[in-house]
Amino acid sequence: MAEIADKAVVHRASTDDATSAHAPAKGDPVLAPLADIPVCQWRALAERVAEPNAYYLPEWALAVSASARGRVGAMALSAFSDAPLAYDGPARMIGLLPAVSLWRAYRIPLPALVSAQPYGTLCTPPLDADLAEAAAERLMQEARRAGAHALMLRDMSLDGKAMRAFTEVLRLNGMRPRLMQSCLRACLDATRDADELLADALGAKKLKELRRLRHRLAEHGAVHFEVARTPAEVTAALETFLVLEASGWKGKRGTALVQHQGDAAFIRRATAGLAETAQCEIVTLRAGDAPVAGAIVLRHRERAFYFKLGIDERFAKYSPGVQLTLDLTRHLCGDPAIRSADSTAAPDHPMINPIWRGRFAIGDVLIPLRRYDPLVPMIHTALAAHSFAEEVARGAVRFIRSRGKSH
């Protein structure tokens, strides 16, 4: 059954669905390997998107698909406008959805496609801002041609332009999206004055305590905040970050990037590639010569993405992660090119939530592809059961870890 479901979403185009000028040539597979997507068109689309998402920039997504653990070999649905970019030029790409089968994503043997996990917690697909509804409609058409009965758009920005485009296309076709789960995530309004924002968020008493801890940290050497921007700077700063991350709890659990060859290869390739176009920065907090905290920050148009944080736990009593985040907040608020930042953190994250007080909704959304399709309720039920089982498992892990800390 699993094999049947997997093959169903890579079948060749049907005659009924292959009539549009944007479609692949008759007989070509609808789903293409992500590595086969024309990078020049992908980059051009990234400059026109309705919503920024650095995790679906080509330099990042291709690096993930090439080597990251459990994420290699992603496929893609693509949407094109009938109008060429230039006279006799190629058709204009207006949408892209990196995807995997429902079987691969959740081990559910039903014919659906799921947005590919890009080693970040945002999967909002790039849709052309001027043609967002047309892009959503054509991605749905391509998914049907691939044999899918539904699209599972996970980690979607629920109130953004991309979700509104899919919702409107569904409405016009007598359908509606099905929200599987949602949460509120911390974000930063980078248009505000940083000192005013931090005072409002933390209050005078907490800021005074953090200044005291910073003075204590300075006893180990002058505290300074560094921003690596150029490819050479980013390459060097990444190695410092990888050591910091592996030295903490992620290293103890075996989840640090550098502990797995494929993950290390992905992050080195991705950060170097994005640094070439000024879309990646690595920030480091030092006490003298000693790095005490570091973070990877991605940039896409007017939005920043706080990807990962690593600290040297020998300095934990000085709150180095918080100290770095305060400096990063000032850095982003002082950059006129950045208007907002996504924490990409868990909804209840104890460090970032008190500092970045903005919130936006994110969730998993099931998109039906045909009206009255009897398979869609089955897919919905299977996904709900899988989500419940995962939550029970996570609760058990949290309980075991809490018991371990108490003994």
pLDDT tens for 244-302 read 999 988 999 999 999 999 999 999 999 999 999 999 999 999 999 999 999 999 999 99
DSSP sequence for 128-152: BGGGHHHHHHHHHHHHHHTT-SEEE
Give the C-alpha separation, 218 to 206, whole Å.
18
pLDDT of the residue at 18 = 32
Beta bridge partners, 227, equal 283
CB proximity list for 235: less than 8 A, separation 6 or greater: 268, 271, 272, 275
Query: For the segment 353-379, what is each residue's pLDDT rounded down to a tens digit?
Result: 999 999 999 999 999 999 999 999 999
* CA pair distance 254, 231, nearest whole angstrom: 28
What's the rounded Cα separation, in Å, for the pair 82 and 109? 35
Residues contacting residue 209 through CB under 8 Å, at least 6 positions apart = none
Measure the CA–CA gap between 390 and 366, rounded to whole angstroms.
Answer: 18
- DSSP string of 170-231, one letter each residue: HHHTT---EEEEEEEEEEEETTS-HHHHHHHHHHHHHHHHHHHHHHHHGGGS-EEEEEE-SH
What tokens appear for 297 in the block?
Answer: 């920050």
Beta pairing class for 303-311 and 340-342: parallel
On the CB side of 217, how many CA atoms lie within 13 Å of its CA?
31
Say whether 39 sits in a helix, a strand or coil: helix
Q: Which of 294, 238, 307 is nearest to 53 (CA)?
A: 307
Question: How many whole angstroms separate alpha carbon 132 and alpha carbon 15?
Answer: 26
What type of residue is 51? E
Q: What is the pTM of this model?
A: 0.90
Instruction: Report the distance separating Cα 243 and Cα 293, nearest Å.
Output: 10
145 neighbors 13 (Cβ within 8 angstroms): yes
Euclidean distance between CA atoms 258 and 240, whole angstroms:
11
Confidence (pLDDT) at 394: 72
Residue spans of beta strands (DSSP E) within 301-339: 303-311
Q: Which residues of the chain have pLDDT under 50?
A: 1-4, 8, 10-27, 86-88
Token pair of 51 as six digits: 């919503």
Residues 128, 136: Cα–Cα separation, whole Å: 9
Decide: 133 and 359 in contact? Cβ < 8 Å.
Answer: no
Q: What is the DSSP letter of 127?
A: B
- Backbone angles phi and psi of 297, in degrees to 5: -125, 125
Backbone angles phi, psi at 344, to 5 degrees: 50, 30
The contacts of residue 211 (CB under 8 Å, 6+ apart) are none
pLDDT, residue 15, reads 29
pLDDT at site 301: 97
Q: What is the largest distance, in Å, between two alpha-carbon atoms of the chain?
A: 73
pLDDT of residue 403: 65
Q: What are phi and psi of 19, to 5 degrees?
A: -95, -15
- CA gap 162, 147 in Å, rounded: 23
Tokens of 212: 């005291």
**Residues sharing a CB contact under 8 Å with residue 72, sequence separation 6 or more, in sequence order:** 65, 66, 262
- Looking up tokens 């400096």, which residue turns up? 327
